[in-house]
Structure 1
Amino acid sequence: MKLRYTADINSYKRMTNAELKQAFVVDDLFAPGETVLTYTDVDRAIVGSAVPQDKPLGLPQSKELGSDYFCERREVGIVNIGGAGTIEVDGTSYKMQYKDSLYIARESKDISFSSVNPSEPAQYYIVSYPAHRTTQTTHVSKADAHHIELGSAIESNDRVINQSIRPGIVDSCQLVMGFTELEPGSVWNTKPPHTHRRRSEIYMYFEYNDDNRVFHFMGEPSETRSLVLAAGTAVISPAWSIHSGAGTTNYTFIWAMGGENQTFDDMDHIPISDIS
């Protein structure tokens, strides 16, 4: 378990690009044959990945959790962005196709990640938050997610929001998770930018090649900074920061939120004319 200490609402304004990345960006995900986890001080969230090849992988216990096993007091959300695979939770197997999601409930003990074809492994993206109650582990295919079409090609933000872990589909404690797919020709992932001080958020950008980048914008509306991100990179957004981004091409990003409110539309929009 790696540790990540983020910057506060004042200090980020004086940081270099390298310092901002060190504080907010997780760029060591999806290591073949490994489970990679980073513990952040933002709402005690954990972000990571598992890429099983010829043998299954698990969620290791760590002293940072202060528990006997990973999910003793935690819930986990997973989206597969690789080849077909299977996740086994306490003896029950869940087949994971591309962009399928799995919610793993608190008190789940034995968790195992595997791939159908080691040469085309599953790539499990993982986000975990503390959980105060025990619910039920639930598989959600992409088809079974709640789909919302937003934006327009004229404003370069024509997109589909796929809500997979949310009230009405999954009974989670605080975790809300899904992914947004931008149509060709669209580059803005949310427009206008927004904040929600009642919950933090983690983005993970993918589905674009090495010749392209996403410019992720963070900070207070009057003091924004940009982080230039390659595919397969996650960025931590504290509750005080805006989260918005524009790419050099269209892309997909996974969003995961934890906090006091699970209502997806609970956000404070910021007029673009107020951004500086």
Structure 2
Amino acid sequence: MQTRYGVHFDHFKTYTTDQTREEFLVTGLLRAGEINLVYSHYDRFIFGGAVPTTQPLALPNDEALRAACFLERRELGILNLGAAGTVGVDGTDYHLERFDCLYVGRGSREVTFRSAHPGTPARFYLNSAPAHCPYPTTKFTQAQANRVELGSQETANERVLYQYIHENGIKSCQLVMGFTELLPGNVWNTFPPHTHERRMEVYLYFDLPEDQLVMHFMGQPTETRHLAVRNEEAVISPPWSIHSGAGTSAYRFVWGMAGENQAFTDMDAAPLASVR
């Protein structure tokens, strides 16, 4: 498990492209036959991927956690971005098709990942946050997720959000998780932009053709920078940063958050006139 530390926005203003990518961009999370995790010091958020092929994969208990098991003091959200697979939690199996989500509560001791067909593996994307109490392990299909339509064709940001783990969905301590898809002919996500000082966020861009990219914009609204992001790459968004993107092709992205609250409306809008 690699670690990413926090950065002050005054320091961020001086960053080169390479420094920005090194601190905030994460690649190689969803590799066949591996589990890869990143520990962010923003709200102690962990994110990563598990892609089981011929053998099951077990969620590791990294020494950095100083815990009896990974979920001793944590909760976990899992969204399947690939073919069918199974997540085992303390001896109980949960079958996940594409876009099914599983929440695993604090105190669960063993979590394993299997693909139904090794040649077309499941692609499990993981989000984890510290938890103060246990909530029951719960599965939602895409049909059970809360569907929210935002934006318009005229502003090229018409999109649909699928909310799984949130204040009115799967119950959690602080984890919020879902994904967004842009409708055909639209390119912008999360624009006009916002920040939320009470929460951090991670975006994982996916279903982006290999020869295309998303220009992801971050930084304070008056001090923006960009990252060129490819398929299945993630961006860490500090509380002080906007998190918007414009793609050269259709794409989707998973969003995961942790922090002081779970309110979808808890954001600080950045009027377009203030963005630089």
Per the normalisation by structure 2, the TM-score is 0.98
Kindly provide the amino acid, as one letter, of the partner of residue 153 in structure 2. A
| 2: CA distance, partners of 1:94 / 1:61 | 21
| 1: CA distance, partners of 2:139 / 2:266 | 25
2:178–2:254 contact (8 Å) kept in structure 1: yes
Pairing 1:121-200 to 2, within 5 Å after superposition: 121-200=121-200
Pairing 1:222-241 to 2, within 5 Å after superposition: 222-241=222-241
| Structure 1 residue 134 displacement after superposition | 0.8
For 1:43, the equivalent position in structure 2 comes to 43
| Structure 1 residue 7 displacement after superposition | 2.3
Kindly provide the amino acid, as one letter, of the partner of residue 37 in structure 2. L
For 1:215, the equivalent position in structure 2 comes to 215
Kindly provide the amino acid, as one letter, of the partner of residue 102 in structure 2. L
| Structure 1 residue 243 displacement after superposition | 1.0
| Structure 1 residue 92 displacement after superposition | 1.4
1:131–1:173 contact (8 Å) kept in structure 2: yes
| Structure 1 residue 42 displacement after superposition | 1.1
For 2:79, the equivalent position in structure 1 comes to 79
2:209–2:249 contact (8 Å) kept in structure 1: no
1:202–1:256 contact (8 Å) kept in structure 2: yes
| 2: CA distance, partners of 1:155 / 1:92 | 46
For 1:243, the equivalent position in structure 2 comes to 243
For 1:120, the equivalent position in structure 2 comes to 120
| Structure 1 residue 4 displacement after superposition | 1.5
For 1:66, the equivalent position in structure 2 comes to 66
| 2: CA distance, partners of 1:245 / 1:274 | 17
Per the normalisation by structure 1, the TM-score is 0.98
| Structure 1 residue 250 displacement after superposition | 2.0
For 2:205, the equivalent position in structure 1 comes to 205
Secondary structure of the corresponding residue to residue 273 of structure 1: helix
| 2: CA distance, partners of 1:196 / 1:7 | 16
Secondary structure of the corresponding residue to residue 254 of structure 1: strand
| 2: CA distance, partners of 1:197 / 1:113 | 34
1:74–1:128 contact (8 Å) kept in structure 2: yes
Kindly provide the amino acid, as one letter, of the partner of residue 97 in structure 1. E
* CA shift digits 1:38-73 (9 cap, x unpaired): 111111111110000011101101111110100000
| 1: CA distance, partners of 2:208 / 2:220 | 28
| Structure 1 residue 202 displacement after superposition | 0.5
Kindly provide the amino acid, as one letter, of the partner of residue 223 in structure 2. E
| Structure 1 residue 5 displacement after superposition | 2.1
Secondary structure of the corresponding residue to residue 22 of structure 1: helix
Identity %: 49
Secondary structure of the corresponding residue to residue 133 of structure 1: coil
Unmatched segments (≥5 aa) in structure 2: none
Kindly provide the amino acid, as one letter, of the partner of residue 190 in structure 1. T
For 1:8, the equivalent position in structure 2 comes to 8
1:184–1:249 contact (8 Å) kept in structure 2: no
Unmatched segments (≥5 aa) in structure 1: none
Kindly provide the amino acid, as one letter, of the partner of residue 137 in structure 1. T
**Structure 1 segments of 4 or more deviating over 6 A?**
none
